[in-house]
Amino acid sequence: MKSKILRVNMDELTVEFENVPEDYKNLGGRALTSQIVADEVSPKAHPLGPNNKLIFAPGIVTGTNSPNSGRISAGGKSPLTGGIKESNAGTPFAKTLAQKGIKALVIEGEPKKDKFYILKLGKDGEQFVEADDYVGKGLYKAYEDLHEEFGEGIEITGVGIAAELRAANAGISYTDPEGMSSRYSGRGGLGAVMASKGLKFIVVEEPEENMIEIKDKETFDKGRKKLANALMEHDVTKKDGALNTYGTSVLVNIINESGGLPQRNFSEGSDDRSDMVSGERKAEEIKKRGGVRPHKCSPSCIIQCSEIWTKEDGSDPVGVLEYESVWSLGPNCGIYDLDIIGELNRACNDLGLDTIEAGNTIAVAMEGGLLDFGDGEGALKLMDEIYNKTPLGRILANGAEFTGRAFGVDRVPTVKGQSMPAYDPRPIKGIGVTYATTPMGADHTAGYAIAPEIMGVGGEADPFDTKKGELSKNLQRATAAIDSAGYCLFIAFAIMDIDEGMEGVVDTVNGVLGTDYSIEDVMDFGKEGLKVEREFNEKAGFSKEDDRLPEFMKEEKLPPHNVVFDVPDEEIDSVWED
């Protein structure tokens, strides 16, 4: 069986396999989700209405044995930004969906009854199961119960209590290798879109036969080896390298020392206490507690930057505490206690919330006087408000910008309604240009300028230099291509420095598709995907005036460097000039 598109109609509770249109055959991941959204969703549609759609698409190489290829894209119109959205995750669910021969899963319509359903994609066919017993249940327990109900040979994606509220910060959860709810397409509120369709979970059984077709196995295998060699050679990605040893939180001390680690709602750029929540400190604690470090998020991962964090006695595993989560729920809220951060992360995973947006929301609430900065116990009580679906909980679950309006806060670090990640753009200008111009709202992964600006990867760029339009443009195009191929973004560290690694990426894509793309073609591939996303947003009402950072960042000097974001508008706009 060749790969198919599986269309799920929630009006009629039907599923139908369709042949892949010719125009889609060489697309995957982000390129495919964005193209389907552009083709089938009105830019003026309400994100939670019947005319929005939710699309899941494995990448081109997802499900193969190429290293770090276990990615999936979720796409739709975002309730948080009002624009197009792709949110990416690494999970065994991606491999299982790809190996079932599903190129894209399109969820459309909404049920006639106000009910939630489970969609089971089994070996013997597809069926809907009522999900009433799972409403109001935390996702950790829900995933345990789903494994009991459907068996151990399954992978799951689903939404939690935040999505039941149709909250703009509701993410989509996936199983990790242990079956827990800890892998996320977190950003942009796509969990609320899934809930608006009446879909609570998708359960996928492992196929009896791998349906992935590799058209040129010799080229694919050659590329796979090239990429693996590059990943195991580079200091950031190799075994016992920075990511493998300390996880993504290795960046806490690095960014803090650069003066760009936002503290207490982006009011300062460093604090000596940040070391208390660093990757180095966390790795020591995991070893003491009997957690897991290093760990892989998906079957093909060889970098293994993930982990399993537990309580002090080794109980109640959370999953990974990523750099972004540690920062947003920690220093950004004035909290420097890994145990409090771990429990806040657990609550986010259990509720189905994006941790970046959740931490920024708490910080904005603190700014508005709801809590004092540093009040970790108070922050945990705010999570209880969401569990209990109170009016305050509903405000918080809708993100930082919504909360800022509710509490009269003017220092709200968002672009297009989405909160900034863990890099203040005032002393790191290139990442600020990416925040401003990506169609996704403030998003570091869209064009990771931190690599050359701070880490010296892919060359070196002065973080204070305001001429960053070309840098961000090129990084965004490369990232869009990586997201579409189905690779983890972290391969970029190696392929930016080692030519063989980039050749390997192109070879594996060519091997799967039977194409003869060049490296230049792949960059053009990313460029065209971004153009599709940009045009959707323009039709939705966005203009270059929306490609701007918040006013306070242009006026408030950030200690310790005492700088503002002073990249000229013309430089920002140059990202989209060709």
Does position 373 have pLDDT exceeding 90, yes or no?
Answer: yes
**Percentage above 90 pLDDT, the chain:** 98
What is the token pair recorded at 507?
């070879």
pLDDT of 157-216, one tens digit each? 999 999 999 999 999 999 999 999 999 999 999 999 999 999 999 999 999 899 999 999
pLDDT of the residue at 152:
84
DSSP codes of every residue in 335-379: ---HHHHHHHHHHHHHHTB-HHHHHHHHHHHHHTTSS-TT-HHHH
- The residue-averaged pLDDT of 211-222 equals 97
Q: How confident is the model at residue 135 (pLDDT cuts 50, 70, 90)?
A: very high
The single-letter code of the amino acid at 329 is L
**Low-confidence winner among 109-113, 132-136, 245-249, 396-400 (lowest mean pLDDT):** 109-113
Does position 477 have pLDDT exceeding 70, yes or no?
Answer: yes
The residue with tokens 């950003």 is 187
CA dist 439 and 88 (Å) reads 15
What is the token pair recorded at 194?
């899934």
Does position 339 have pLDDT exceeding 90, yes or no?
Answer: yes
Output helix, strand, coil percentages for the chain, rounded to the nearest 5: 45, 15, 40
Q: In the predicted model, what is the mean pLDDT of the chain?
A: 97
Instruction: Put residue 136 in one of left, alpha, beta given phi > 0 → left and psi -120 to 50 → alpha.
Output: left
Helices 376-387 and 355-367 pack at an angle, to 10 degrees, of 110
Task: Tell me the domains of the chain and their CATH numbers.
Answer: 4-205 (3.60.9.10), 249-423 (1.10.569.10)
Contacts with 421 (C-beta within 8 Å, 6 or more apart), sequence order: 324, 327, 328, 356, 442, 443, 444
What is the token pair recorded at 450?
């931190």
Does position 225 have pLDDT exceeding 90, yes or no?
Answer: yes
405-428 burial, b if ≥16 CB within 10 A, otherwise e? Answer: ebbebebbbbbbbbbbbbbbbbbb
- The residue-averaged pLDDT of 320-342 equals 98
**Percentage above 70 pLDDT, the chain:** 100
